[in-house]
Amino acid sequence: MICALCKEKEATKKNTHYLSDGVIRKCLNIGGTNERERGYYFDISNGNPFVEFNFQRIDEVNLEKGLGRPPTDEELENARKIPFSVDYVFCNTCEKSFTEFESKFSSDIIPKLRNVNLNQINHLNFEEVSLIRMFFYIQIWRNAICEEIFSLSPKVEEELRLIILNKQVKNINHFPLMITYLETLGGDMSFTENYVGSTSDRNPNVIFMNDFVVQFFDDIDYVKYNKFYGLNDEVDFKEFVNFEEEVFKVKVLSNIKRKELLSNIINTEKVKQTLSFLEKSFDLIWQRMFYGFPPIQIKQEYIHGIIGDDDFTVLKYSQKQIAEYTEKFIWDRIRR
Ligand SMILES: [Zn+2]
């Protein structure tokens, strides 16, 4: 295999993290397997209120449960090392170049966000425009190369490849880029509440990297407000889109807002799974009674009777309530 960045040298490097380990490590913790878990994918453009996602969210507690004893340092290390990494995609020289920017980001930028008092702060300005852009371009581009469902337009992907390969510092701020820092209070364990994963959608291309959330647009014309579960706010959305900027603005989401965002995402997923479960169960019951699938309209009526116009209502009911409602619904059909 030829290296995906330089397209010259042999890709000999093993275990390249395509989302920087220094950022995501605190969040990840996987049951010590060699299998990389699937990343998560959001789909926000097609009007589907439900998000497709499978973020990794394995914390130390779960690892301990899996092992039946506290993990050793080495197991923890291994557990954290494997996800979001690839073998034989990049060469050693290009890997070194990635590391150069990642180390600089770790030493110059991260300390200004992690473990500092961000109370009442809704954004921070950074002079290090090209460092921040380069660091996130590396994440975005590598993610596009390594993650099946995350993609960029071929033109943008190639442009980013050349910027990274040439370590270009000037004229690289023409891609609209939003970075949100999620204030994560409460020690290391709190970081495991965060997510790592990306969306299958475009414009924005969204990557969750623990306490950093990236939103990347191909072009200024594609920039459009999307609430994204509370990640963005319509009032100041535009303010946080960095584009041809002199200083780079990083939006800061308070610890409380961070928790809201994560819980919105989780609840939406729960709603989606619950509704899908209900539909499947209804099909099954109907089939048993009437030897065929329920007409779509009847199925819609059934679901509507539970949720009305608010999908989230589905989380309010107990299993027993749903069973009773279902029985009554079908009984009413029979009597008609
Ligand atoms: Zn290379």
pLDDT of the residue at 266: 77
Same domain? 162 vs 98: yes
Q: Provide the pLDDT confidence category of residue 22 given band limits of 50, 70 and 90.
A: confident
Q: How far is the CA of 30 from the centre of ligand 1 (A)?
A: 29
Identify the helix (H) or strand (E) that includes residue 163. Answer: helix 154-165
Q: Which of 16, 38, 147 is nearest to 86 (CA)?
A: 16
pLDDT of the residue at 78: 55
pLDDT of the residue at 290: 87
**Rounded Cα gap, residues 331 and 327, in angstroms:** 6
Question: Two tokens at 90?
Answer: 């990049």
Same domain? 50 vs 164: yes
Same domain? 301 vs 247: no
Q: Structural domain tally of the chain?
A: 2
Q: How far is the CA of 169 from the centre of ligand 1 (A)?
A: 19
Same domain? 135 vs 201: yes
Q: How far is the CA of 150 from the centre of ligand 1 (A)?
A: 21
Q: Burial code of 297-326, b = ≥16 C-beta within 10 A, e = fewer?
A: eebeebbeebbeeebeebeebeeeebeeeb
Q: Which of residues 203, 227, 253 is at a domain's end? A: 253
Order of strands across the sheet that contains 177-182:
123-126, 248-253, 177-182, 212-216, 205-210, 195-198
pLDDT of the residue at 270: 75
Least confident of 104-113, 196-205, 234-243: 196-205
Does any domain span residue 7? no
Does any domain span residue 16? no
Does any domain span residue 280? yes
Q: Which residue has the tokens 């970081």?
A: 191
Question: Two tokens at 280?
Answer: 């499947």
Q: How far is the CA of 314 from the centre of ligand 1 (A)?
A: 51
Does any domain span residue 19? no
Same domain? 125 vs 162: yes
pLDDT digits (tens, 9 = 90+) for 137-196: 999 999 999 988 789 999 999 999 999 999 999 999 999 999 999 999 988 778 877 888
Does any domain span residue 43? yes
Question: Two tokens at 100?
Answer: 């150069």
Q: Burial code of 215-253, b = ≥16 C-beta within 10 A, e = fewer?
A: bbbbeeeebeebebbbbbeeeebeebbbeebeebbbbbb
On whether the CB atoms of residues 204 and 194 are closer than 8 A, the answer is: no
Q: How far is the CA of 198 from the centre of ligand 1 (A)?
A: 24
Same domain? 241 vs 143: yes
Task: Give the residue numbers spanning the domain of 162.
Answer: 39-55+92-253
Question: Is the dihedral angle over the CA atoms 252, 256, 259, 263 positive or is it negative?
Answer: negative
Write down the pTM of the prediction: 0.77
Same domain? 238 vs 267: no
**Rounded Cα gap, residues 95 and 86, in angstroms:** 12
Same domain? 229 vs 267: no
pLDDT of the residue at 65: 57
Q: How far is the CA of 85 from the centre of ligand 1 (A)?
A: 16
| Helix, strand, coil share (%) of the chain residues, nearest 5 | 45, 10, 40
Checking if the pLDDT of 298 tops 90, the result is: yes
Q: How far is the CA of 152 from the centre of ligand 1 (A)?
A: 20
Q: How far is the CA of 15 from the centre of ligand 1 (A)?
A: 15
Does any domain span residue 183? yes
Does any domain span residue 229? yes
Same domain? 241 vs 279: no
Same domain? 195 vs 160: yes
Same domain? 137 vs 106: yes
Q: How far is the CA of 149 from the centre of ligand 1 (A)?
A: 23
Q: How far is the CA of 116 from the centre of ligand 1 (A)?
A: 36
pLDDT of the residue at 77: 58
Q: How far is the CA of 9 from the centre of ligand 1 (A)?
A: 5
Q: Which of residues 230, 253, 276 is at a domain's end? A: 253
Does any domain span residue 202? yes
